[in-house]
Structure 1
């Protein structure tokens, strides 16, 4: 692969503010995840500012411990247009160490009830010593599309509940 990022785009029949609200809620991330690795949010507060840390409990059969936790740092938040974070781990003494990959969602309203959502996974800042033991991307190309379809379903179902209140 010649590039250090992959992305996928879908149009969802949900207004951009509602899609953004789902993405800014860490408790929805396990339902959105297209790999099944994200288990649950360890930090449940909505994402509201750059620099905010939120942790997710994870599972991957190839991880040395199987179960592990990641610490994500919000690096872009522009409601309802963009949200993204970089992923790392908490090391001894609570020091955060990031691996060099980011997740980013860009939302473009396509009318009052439709939003074009692009999910980008970028590993351009991953140092060589990490690339020696982790293949990038660490999932198949269908992962991003699966995630966006899960997001669309979740946002549509929560949007219906949201408008019924």
Structure 2
């Protein structure tokens, strides 16, 4: 059944990565690095020099289909948590959120939690893609992030 009632609007995955939280966080908080680990294969490029450092910042990204997105940072704690709401340039975010949370488990061990939350998404055109953003796709991003951050 494809009824919205049966589709989770918050998708979360967890994985332990054998790397320090600071190393992992650098890959997430620097938008220029994001296309390297994007499991949705949706991100093409981001200009260098946009490293996120605070709530309220906006970074831009070009998608693989050519569109530009502004990403409004709504949660930020250095080395631990970052979340943003994407939007078309000059528009208010339509209601979906990408969140990353890092928990230090010990030296060189970090629990990474990745969440896609579209509970506030009202744009019907975007809901088709939101429904297709499954745990497997989120885990794809976490797995790629692990490959990059675990390299010595």
TM-score above 0.5, yes or no: yes
Go from structure 1 to structure 2 and tell me whether the alpha carbon gap of 1:133 and 1:71 turns closer, same or farther (over 3 Å shift): closer
For the pair 1:37 / 2:46, whether they are aligned, the reply is no
Aligned length: 146
Once the 2 structures are TM-superposed, how far is the Cα of residue 133 of structure 1 from its aligned partner?
Answer: 5.7
Once the 2 structures are TM-superposed, how far is the Cα of residue 111 of structure 1 from its aligned partner?
Answer: 0.4
CA distance in 1, matches of 2:145, 2:67: 24
TM-score computed with the length of structure 2 as normaliser:
0.88
Larger Rg, first or second structure (1 or 2): 1
**1:60-118 Cα shifts (integer Å, max 9, x gaps):** xxxxxx3211110111111221111111111xxxx232110000011111101100000
Give the secondary-structure state (helix, strand or coil) at the position aligned to 2:15. Answer: strand
TM-score computed with the length of structure 1 as normaliser:
0.82
Aligned to 2:103: 108
CA distance in 2, matches of 1:47, 1:132: 29
For the pair 1:8 / 2:13, whether they are aligned, the reply is yes
* Unpaired runs of at least 5, structure 2: 1-5
Give the secondary-structure state (helix, strand or coil) at the position aligned to 1:83. Answer: strand
**Alpha carbons 1:43, 1:54 under 8 Å: kept:** no
CA distance in 1, matches of 2:88, 2:14: 28
* Unpaired runs of at least 5, structure 1: 60-65, 161-165
Moved over 4 A (4+): none
Give the secondary-structure state (helix, strand or coil) at the position aligned to 1:116. Answer: strand
**Alpha carbons 1:74, 1:84 under 8 Å: kept:** yes
Cα RMSD after superposing both structures? 1.6
CA distance in 2, matches of 1:156, 1:34: 17
